[in-house]
Chains A and B, each alone.
Chain A
Amino acid sequence: MIKYIIRRLIGLIPLLLGITVITFAVIHLAPGSPTDLEEQFNPKVSLEVRQRIAHLYGLDKPLHVQYTDWLGRLLRLDFGISFVDSRPVIEKIGERIPITLGINLASIILILLIGIPIGVSSAVKEGAFYDRFMTVFVFIGFAMPTFWLSLILMDLIGVRWGLLPISGIKSLEFDKFSFFEKIIDIARHLTLPIFVSAFGGLAGISRYMRSNMVHVLKQDYIRTARAKGLKEKDVIYKHALKNALLPVVTILGLSIPGLIGGSVIFESIFSIPGMGRLFYESVMARDYPVIMGGLVITAILTLLGNLLADVSYAAVDPRIKLE
């Protein structure tokens, strides 16, 4: 097992290099230069000033030198300094990532808690009214634009009924609250964002769970279990469910980039100070160091998420050969 993990980690190195190459290429080969922004504010910026700015960011060196310089700094976890507030990029991203990961983790748990039972019960009642009803529900979930759902919920629950706060992650008077009030306050602020971010994924997981379960229920060992007289409940929950659950691990790993990407939308709408909103603001401000850092870090997170999914899959399913 440890050998497998080490080999997988070594296998990540070319992918990591590729991530940095693509990030670098996206920023440097596209038309428009990082120094444009500073020039936009003042069209009279002289050529000399322009060159000084370019020199400051190393933009006057050949591309491959720029790349290796940048890569060298990345290895020392130096992602550069934000153009906007001159703070280190790693610090800005570091304080935002826990919020985004926390919300995504909560929504994954919610997805599993609701999606798996839906999928299993639909599969058991394959073709019945309940199953068809759930199929329709799943299509609704797939088609629902996250930002529209957020807006409707904000309008109804937040503005019209005033039940939940609709912006930020804590109230203005947060510091005066007792410990429990603080927890409740954060929970109230995060209810809508977590619900919204779970909604789309819910459809995917329940659909996936259903087709796994339908497949497993047709296997020979299920017929054997029924033939030897086991109760239907035991057949479904002990024999079938365990086998149908395995591939869900992989799907969760694959859904990480989508979840992180989706955070841009709901974090912007609900004004949550997470990674997605930081990235969006940096894009609007053309804050290149933060954009590059954000791309590299989220891609690495995805890689690690996939690795974790593969390793746990191998750990729970002995049929997966580690060689």
Chain B
Amino acid sequence: MNKLVFLGIIIVSFFAILAIFAPLIAPYDPGQIDIENVLTSPSKDHIFGTDSLGRDLFSRMVYGTRISLLVGLIAVGISAIIGILLGSIAGYYGRWVDVVIMRFVDIMLCFPTFFLILAVIALLEPSIINIMVIIGVTSWMGVARLIRAEILSLKERDFIYAERAIGASDARIISRHLIPNAIAPVLVSITLGIAAAILVESSLSFLGIGVQPPTPSWGNILSEGKSVMGAAWWMLLFPGMAIFVTVMGYNLLGEGLREKFLKT
């Protein structure tokens, strides 16, 4: 296996473990305020230092891992479901169904995604669930295109004709035969999509319209870091590093899957 892919797997598993065992790993309660230790630099007691309310940065970041991964995974789950559903319907039924769905995809792709997300957030409260749904609903177009293209070529194959001949329903052919055979490129796209969703969530939280404090997320910790810029480098360095490394991990994993499944 490629060294870079191996690195990707290690990074992804490392952060997954952090997220799952957050309460065991974090040395402090992430919300515990300590006004006598405000903005202390990294030390033995607080290995990543403390923030402007004296909360332990390391503990906040461990819990932030939970939020960031959760948002990334569920948002991508939503976009994968929408994309697979619409893409396979378009590819299988063809004709006007295909035209309507793919035109819709074209139109959605015209909007700068970030603008669309911001516009929806203006109307909704920026809760964690809303953030996941909004990211999911605005990022399914790539998956839809991929699965449609796969199904267009698969549906002319003999085993699909055979299924039809024995009277299998459309729903059965799509869900049991077409989608499983078309899923490989989608897996690659989903893995890369998690990286993208984590980036979007952290950008939103950084701008103050994503995950709201006091719930810690890498993005909103960085936002606090911006307000103490020049005074507390640890508030800028560690959360950014976490986002950067996680995104890199999923990207490497995605590239690895691409090489494995889609040798061209």
Complex Cα distance, B125 from A126, in Å, reads 50
Whether A145 is near chain B, meaning CB under 8 Å from some CB there, is yes
Complex Cα distance, B108 from A31, in Å, reads 21
Q: CB within 8 A of A264: which of B4, B122, B207?
A: B207
Q: CB within 8 A of B229: which of A151, A261, A294?
A: A151
In the bound complex, do residue A283 and residue B111 qualify as a contact, i.e. CB atoms below 8 Å apart? no
| Chain B binding surface SS class | helix
In the bound complex, do residue B233 and residue A265 qualify as a contact, i.e. CB atoms below 8 Å apart? no
Complex Cα distance, B230 from A12, in Å, reads 49
Q: CB within 8 A of B123: which of A30, A139, A142, A268?
A: A30
Residues of A contacting B244 in the complex (Cβ-Cβ under 8 angstroms): 143-145, 148
**With A265-B203, A298-B111 as given contacts, are A148 and B240 in contact (CB-CB < 8 Å)?**
yes
Q: CB within 8 A of A295: which of B106, B119, B195, B240?
A: B119
Residues of B contacting A143 in the complex (Cβ-Cβ under 8 angstroms): 195, 244-245, 247-248, 251
Interface size on B, residues (CB 8 A): 43
Q: Mark B80-107, 1 if CB is under 8 A from A, else 0.
A: 0000000000000000000000011011
Residues of B contacting A142 in the complex (Cβ-Cβ under 8 angstroms): 195, 247-248, 251
Closest residue of chain A to B121, judged by CB?
A283
Q: CB within 8 A of A140: which of B206, B230, B236, B248?
A: B248
| Interface hub of A14, A23, A155 (most chain B Cβ within 10 A) | A155
Q: How far is the CB of A224 from chain B (nearest CB, A)?
A: 24
**With A147-B222, A155-B230, A268-B207 as given contacts, are A260 and B118 in contact (CB-CB < 8 Å)?**
no
In the bound complex, do residue B248 and residue A145 qualify as a contact, i.e. CB atoms below 8 Å apart? no
Residues of B contacting A81 in the complex (Cβ-Cβ under 8 angstroms): none
Interface size on A, residues (CB 8 A): 52
Complex Cα distance, B206 from A314, in Å, reads 41
Residues of A contacting B112 in the complex (Cβ-Cβ under 8 angstroms): 257-258, 260-261, 298-299, 302
In the bound complex, do residue B118 and residue A30 qualify as a contact, i.e. CB atoms below 8 Å apart? no
Q: How far is the CB of A228 from chain B (nearest CB, A)?
A: 29
In the bound complex, do residue A145 and residue B202 qualify as a contact, i.e. CB atoms below 8 Å apart? yes
Whether B20 is near chain A, meaning CB under 8 Å from some CB there, is no
Pairs across A and B, CB under 8 Å, 21 listed: A15-B106, A15-B107, A27-B119, A31-B124, A139-B251, A143-B244, A143-B248, A147-B203, A147-B222, A148-B240, A151-B236, A151-B240, A264-B207, A265-B203, A268-B207, A269-B226, A283-B118, A283-B121, A291-B118, A291-B122, A299-B112
Q: A26-B123, A283-B122 are in contact. List 19 more A-B contacts (CB 8 A).
A: A18-B103, A18-B107, A19-B110, A26-B116, A26-B119, A143-B245, A143-B251, A145-B240, A145-B243, A145-B244, A151-B229, A154-B229, A260-B112, A261-B114, A268-B207, A279-B118, A283-B209, A284-B122, A298-B115
* B residues at A contact (CB < 8 Å): 4, 103-104, 106-116, 118-124, 195, 199, 202-203, 206-207, 209, 222, 225-226, 229-230, 233, 236, 240, 243-245, 247-248, 251-252
Q: Which 4 A-B pairs have the closest CB atoms?
A: A261-B114, A261-B112, A148-B240, A18-B107
